[in-house]
Structure 1
Amino acid sequence: MNRLLNSIIENNRKWTKEGQVASYIPELSKVDSNLLGICISTLGGEEHCAGDSDTKFTIQSISKIVTLMLAILDNGKDYVFSKVGMEPTDTSFNSIVNLEIKDAHKPINPMINAGAIATVSMIAGKDSEEVFERILKFTRKISNNPNIGINDSVYKSEKETGDRNRALAYFMKGTGVLDGNVEEILNVYFKQCSIEVTCRDLARIGAMLANDGIMPWSGERVVPRDVARIVKTIMVTCGMYDASGKFAVQIGVPAKSGVGGGILACVPRRMGVAVLGPALDEKGNSLAGIKVMEELSKQLDLSIF
């Protein structure tokens, strides 16, 4: 397996030259666009990694699957999806169009920014600090890494330049989707996106989802089976933004991307997979990361379809 992963990384390293790092968040523009790494975590407890798999990067939108799980655990799926839809989108992840035109009462799904902000607002806690600590603690638990923290420079950069997210949040406050203090909700959102992880951390989260909510390394169930199933389904239909359909056809596994260059994927009953490639395509997904996932899926016959 290690030989295969090394080969896949080398075969696709050329694609890191084709994309662009996320520049709308100033700190992310400083990331090395040549990075490329992969890690697999199997349900049998084996881990195989190659390339720049130990390099830390910010989780960004991959955190949306973490907060979706917490929101459902706190409120139940019926309440969560009364506030946030579950349909795929053909517009960009930070678009306000769906809110204003398609349904002013709720964002179209929890994987776009508006939906993720609404999801965060449903997580229990006496204040924003407690809400974020719960997100961080849960992330540490399901990645089996107690040392995960946030990248403070990225957090400050996100907060200083997050005007589009503020527009989305205040729009939702005006239509009754958001309850509570908008700036506190946004502060949690900016912090959760700035959590720093490695491919190994994300692969373990993927393995937990692939194992229907049970952490393979301990046997402990952290989310009910139906919650894991909901999250995986949303990942298939919405996890790669408005390129989710193409990803499902070409690669065929539940996945979630982030503009930090990460992709978290899970192959039900087999493994979790994580890829890092900060150079993004026009949709905001890792260009080389998708190429790596495509070759891996073909080599190991991973598609669930």
Structure 2
Amino acid sequence: VLRGRTVFKIECVRPIMNNKFARVFIKHSNSIAVSFPISRSCRISSYSTLPNVTKVLRQQKITCADVNYWKYYSYHSAAQVRKASRGQPLFQLKSSERAAFYDLDTPYSARDQETKSAEDVLFDMFRNEETDLLPIGKFLAALRTTGIRRNDPRIGEMMENLAVVHRNSGFEGGSPETQKMDRETFRSVVAPNIVLIARAFRHQFIIPDFQGFTKDLEEVYWKCKSNDDGKVASYIPQLARMNPDFWGVSVCTIDGQRFSIGDTNVPFTLQSCSKPLTYAIALEKLGQATVHQYVGQEPSGRNFNELVLDYNKRPHNPMINAGAILVCSLLKTLVKPEMTLAEKFDYMTTYFKRLAGGESLGFNNAVFLSEREAADRNYALGFYMREHKCYPDKTNLRECMDFYFQCCSMEANCDAMAVVAATLANGGICPITDEKVLRPDVVRDVLSLMHSCGMYDYSGQFAFKVGLPAKSGVCGGMLVVIPNVMGIFTWSPPLDPLGNSCRGVQFCEELVNVFNFHRYDNLKHASNKKDPRRHRYETKGLSIVNLLFSAASGDVTALRRHKLSGMDITLSDYDGRTALHLAAAEGHLDCVAFLLEQGRVPHDPHDRWGNAPLDEAETFGHHHVVEFLRAWDERVRSGEIPRGGVETIEQQPEIEQQEIKPSQEPPRSEQEQRRYQTLEHEETSPLPK
């Protein structure tokens, strides 16, 4: 508001496309107060001074209605501005009006019909019809089933609003989740985070059916729980004292959907699971050329702590001890070299927390001291590399070794490490904070080496059986990344002879047996595996649509392809109509013959109206198809040929044939009645399709 006039600020998050004009509608109640166009040149923000609005609404609020990708506010007249604080929006709009910039050629009456916003839809979905109030606990429980936790920072504003409303209600005790809200209060509470909440309830995340996906994960978890193989690492006493029964799995998708089962809150030291992270930070700060001037990219083919270098006198890769020590020397010497060892440790801790989205991350000093005391082999590797001049200039080997032990002694739990894995799966963007921590090319290089070198001497077999980037550690942890889908972290202290978690390896192998997560699984034809990235019925629905469309269009080649691919060509749509129904209705005799002779489908399936393919052919006047189907029916009745296909309706056709008679047919619409009356009078003239 400037000098007694009302100024409307419209902030555009996404530019107007196609060089079109758009129009802003300033609404009061149900009528348009004023409207004005803006052009595509308004890419960031537009200000329009509308003095005539204050005449209409001198003492009232007016609403600038818009929707997707646009920030919106409610504006006040000049008299109310004196009470408002300076520098903050007077009142952020909590209105339920559907909002957006519309094209000029769209009539307003059509737009005005869409009056329900996402807030209203959610309220109506969960409200109590008797009291017309919404139980917040029920709403939050439903939100949790989509994978969004209550401590997710992306809904932090909503949770703060819940706490404020609870405090202002005057009730002492209880929790904000136990309260009930009316429509207006609910709108104001969820409005700041409505975009994320709407995506969750519309199943627009990478895993649409997250509840069904977690049930499958639970089955795999309990199957691996009974695995008692392996022994706990014993080279330092802190690891030897770990309970071998600890077993936890945590999942975080690239949309921030979270799931945990088992001992996921027990802290453990990262050990070798820190190696991909230090390598990623080195790539981010120094670049690929600098880092790989000192360390290679090839699998060593030797033990992870063996005294060996490649033909260039460099460590083979950053995932073995020699390579990780050298990467730590690069971070210590070349990245902010003015920092002391303590400052560099704080720097790395902060970076690790950014990767984990602010989740809990600590440091175990006892493990650090034990690692340093039992580090003869690592010191031997360090001096061996110094002999071959592997380090950059001015490297302090003792400080570099301490820095390496500090990184290995950082402490986290499964939940935090799952977010780290999800950050790698999401191209370096943390899914729960939306912060870009790593560049995409850095993540690509890290995942490539995790795929080929991350599982010690089991890396080749793991890549063959599981086909996913992973990194294990002697702590019992396994960092698994499914690119562009999710990150998984498993933790179980018992290790196999190669140093990998027994339960973790089994979990990954079982996971790719259930889901098509293997890097080289065929996403289209892997019929025996589930694809949780699709909606529950999407895969089957697409297959049925393709099959029925092929039959309706008379494409025998496509039908043959479906048959050879192993698809069940007896499938029907939601009306019970099969490919044979469509082929008969369209008069494609070659398709009908193929389905019966080669596909061995049932010749007389009935749809929901009781119509068989023969009825369809008669209805649309395809006499050649009628003759073929009647001849086929006679051959089946005589026993000359067996009844083909699989009876998908389990003896119900006979009952339906008895019940569905001309006098008992389902009621038809007026259009269908006219069509059937025409058929009775003109039996010889085929009805248009």
Q: TM-score, normalised by structure 1?
A: 0.95
Q: Does 1:2 align with 2:202?
A: no
CA distance in 2, matches of 1:298, 1:218: 32
CA distance in 2, matches of 1:28, 1:104: 35
Q: Does 1:94 align with 2:94?
A: no
One-letter amino acid of the counterpart of residue 355, structure 2? I
One-letter amino acid of the counterpart of residue 288, structure 2? K
Change (3 A) 1:3 1:146: closer
One-letter amino acid of the counterpart of residue 143, structure 1? A
**What do residues 170-202 of structure 1 show as CA deviations (whole Å, max 9, x unaligned)?**
111111112411110010111111111111111
Q: Is the 8 A contact 2:357 2:433 kept in 1?
A: no
CA distance in 2, matches of 1:3, 1:221: 31
User: Within 5 A, what are the aligned runs for 1:31-70?
Assistant: 31-70=242-281
Larger radius of gyration: 2
One-letter amino acid of the counterpart of residue 115, structure 1? G
**What do residues 55-111 of structure 1 show as CA deviations (whole Å, max 9, x unaligned)?**
111111110111101111221111111100000122111111x22xx4362100000
Specify every segment of 5 or more residues in structure 2 that has no aligned partner in the other structure, as ranges: 1-212, 521-689
Q: Does 1:106 align with 2:317?
A: no
Match of residue 223 from structure 2: 11
CA distance in 1, matches of 2:360, 2:516: 34
Q: Does 1:181 align with 2:392?
A: no
Deviation >6 Å, runs of 4+: none
CA distance in 1, matches of 2:513, 2:264: 21
Q: Does 1:72 align with 2:280?
A: no
CA distance in 2, matches of 1:68, 1:173: 20
Once the two structures are TM-superposed, the CA of residue 35 in structure 1 deviates from its matched residue by: 1.1
**What do residues 224-276 of structure 1 show as CA deviations (whole Å, max 9, x unaligned)?**
11001000101000111121111111111111111100000111110000000
SS at match of 1:8: helix
Once the two structures are TM-superposed, the CA of residue 219 in structure 1 deviates from its matched residue by: 2.1
User: Within 5 A, what are the aligned runs for 1:136-151?
Assistant: 136-145=349-358, 147-151=360-364
Aligned match for 1:26, one of 231, 234, 237: 237
Once the two structures are TM-superposed, the CA of residue 18 in structure 1 deviates from its matched residue by: 1.2
Match of residue 381 from structure 2: 168
Once the two structures are TM-superposed, the CA of residue 33 in structure 1 deviates from its matched residue by: 1.2
Q: Is the 8 A contact 1:206 1:273 kept in 2?
A: yes
CA distance in 2, matches of 1:294, 1:63: 23
Match of residue 264 from structure 1: 479
Match of residue 221 from structure 1: 436
Q: Is the 8 A contact 2:272 2:408 kept in 1?
A: yes
CA distance in 2, matches of 1:138, 1:250: 33
How many equivalent residue pairs?
A: 301
CA distance in 2, matches of 1:85, 1:174: 18
Q: Is the 8 A contact 1:88 1:242 kept in 2?
A: no
Taking only aligned residues, the RMSD between alpha carbons, in angstroms, comes to 1.3
Q: Is the 8 A contact 1:169 1:178 kept in 2?
A: no
One-letter amino acid of the counterpart of residue 475, structure 2? G
Identity %: 37
CA distance in 1, matches of 2:461, 2:241: 29
SS at match of 1:70: helix
CA distance in 1, matches of 2:340, 2:313: 25
One-letter amino acid of the counterpart of residue 7, structure 1? E
Specify every segment of 5 or more residues in structure 1 that has no aligned partner in the other structure, as ranges: none
Q: Is the 8 A contact 1:89 1:241 kept in 2?
A: no
CA distance in 1, matches of 2:277, 2:246: 25
**What do residues 189-218 of structure 1 show as CA deviations (whole Å, max 9, x unaligned)?**
111111111111111111111111111122
Q: Is the 8 A contact 1:210 1:269 kept in 2?
A: yes
Q: Is the 8 A contact 1:54 1:199 kept in 2?
A: yes
Once the two structures are TM-superposed, the CA of residue 132 in structure 1 deviates from its matched residue by: 1.9
Q: Is the 8 A contact 1:235 1:255 kept in 2?
A: yes
Q: Is the 8 A contact 2:232 2:495 kept in 1?
A: yes
Q: Which has the higher contact order (CA 8 A, sep 6+)?
A: 1
- Structure (1 or 2) with the greater helix fraction: 1
